[in-house]
Amino acid sequence: MERLVFYVLVFGALVKAQHCPGRCICQTISPTLTLLCAKTGMLFVPTSIDRKTVELRLTDNFITAVRRKDFLNMTSLVHLTLSRNTISQIAPHAFVGLKALRALHMDGNRLTVINSDQLQGLINLRHLILGNNQIHHIELSSFDEFVSTIEDLDLSYNNLRTLPWEAIARMTNINTLTLDHNLIDHICVGTFTLLTKLVRLDMTSNRLQTLPPDTLFQQAQVLSDPKASSSSKLTVSFGGNPLHCNCELLWLRRLTREDDLETCASPELLMDRYFWSIQEEEFICEPPLITKHQVTKSYVMEGQGVTLKCKAMGDPDPTIHWRFPDGKLVHNNSRTILYDNGTLDILITTLKDSGAFNCVASNAAGIATAAVEVNMTPLPLIVNNTGHMREADPGLSDITTSTKSGSNDTKPQNKRVVVENLNANSAVIHWPSERHIPGIRMYQIQYNSTVDDTLVYR
Ligand SMILES: *[C@@H]1O[C@H](CO)[C@@H](O)[C@H](O)[C@H]1NC(C)=O
Ligand SMILES: *[C@@H]1O[C@H](CO)[C@@H](O)[C@H](O)[C@H]1NC(C)=O
Ligand SMILES: *[C@@H]1O[C@H](CO)[C@@H](O)[C@H](O)[C@H]1NC(C)=O
Ligand SMILES: *[C@@H]1O[C@H](CO)[C@@H](O)[C@H](O)[C@H]1NC(C)=O
Ligand SMILES: *[C@@H]1O[C@H](CO)[C@@H](O)[C@H](O)[C@H]1NC(C)=O
Ligand SMILES: *[C@@H]1O[C@H](CO)[C@@H](O)[C@H](O)[C@H]1NC(C)=O
Q: What's the pLDDT band for 135 if we cut at 50, 70, 90? A: very high
Lowest mean pLDDT among 45-54, 247-256, 432-441: 432-441
Question: What DSSP letter does each residue of 37-57 carry, written as one string?
Answer: -TTS--SS--TT--TT-SEEE
| Top-confidence residue, 255 or 263 | 263
How high is the pLDDT of residue 252? Answer: 85
Is 384 touching ligand 4 by the criterion CB < 6 Å?
A: yes
* Ligand 4 atom closest to residue 390's alpha carbon, by position in its atom list: 5
Is 408 touching ligand 5 by the criterion CB < 6 Å?
A: yes
Separation of alpha carbons 404 and 133, rounded Å: 61
Domain residue limits, the chain: 287-377
Closest CA to 390 of 399, 401, 398, 382: 382
Q: What's the pLDDT band for 256 if we cut at 50, 70, 90? A: low
Mutate to test the pocket of ligand 6, among 396, 399, 448 (most ligand atoms within 8 A of CB): 448
pLDDT tops 60 at residue 119: yes
Is 96 touching ligand 1 by the criterion CB < 6 Å?
A: no
How high is the pLDDT of residue 234? Answer: 80
How high is the pLDDT of residue 396? Answer: 45
How high is the pLDDT of residue 32? Answer: 79
How high is the pLDDT of residue 401? Answer: 47
Which residue is closest in CA terms to ligand 2's atom 4?
Answer: 339
175 and 150 Cβ atoms separated by less than 8 Å: no
* Least distant ligand from the CA of 319: 2
| Top-confidence residue, 411 or 171 | 171
Q: Which CATH number fits domain 287-377: 3.10.20.600, 2.60.120.380, 2.60.40.10, 1.10.10.10?
A: 2.60.40.10
Separation of alpha carbons 192 and 167, rounded Å: 11
Mutate to test the pocket of ligand 5, among 408, 409, 414 (most ligand atoms within 8 A of CB): 408
- Strand, helix or coil at 296? coil
How high is the pLDDT of residue 333? Answer: 85
- Residues of the chain above pLDDT 90, percent: 52
How high is the pLDDT of residue 371? Answer: 94
CA distances (Å), 256 to each of 101, 208, 220, 231, 280, in order? 40, 21, 9, 18, 12
Q: pLDDT of 259-291, one tens digit each? A: 567 889 999 899 999 888 889 999 999 999 999
Q: pLDDT of 354-378, one tens digit each? A: 999 999 999 989 999 999 999 988 8
The segment with the largest mean pLDDT, out of 59-73, 393-407, 411-425, is: 59-73
Is 386 touching ligand 4 by the criterion CB < 6 Å?
A: yes
Which residue is closest in CA terms to ligand 3's atom 4?
Answer: 339
Average pLDDT, the chain: 83
Beta strands 176-178 and 152-154 are parallel
Bridge partners, residue 373, by sequence? 356
How high is the pLDDT of residue 244? Answer: 94
CA angle 94, 96, 100 (to 5 degrees): 120
Which residue is closest in CA terms to ligand 5's atom 11?
Answer: 408
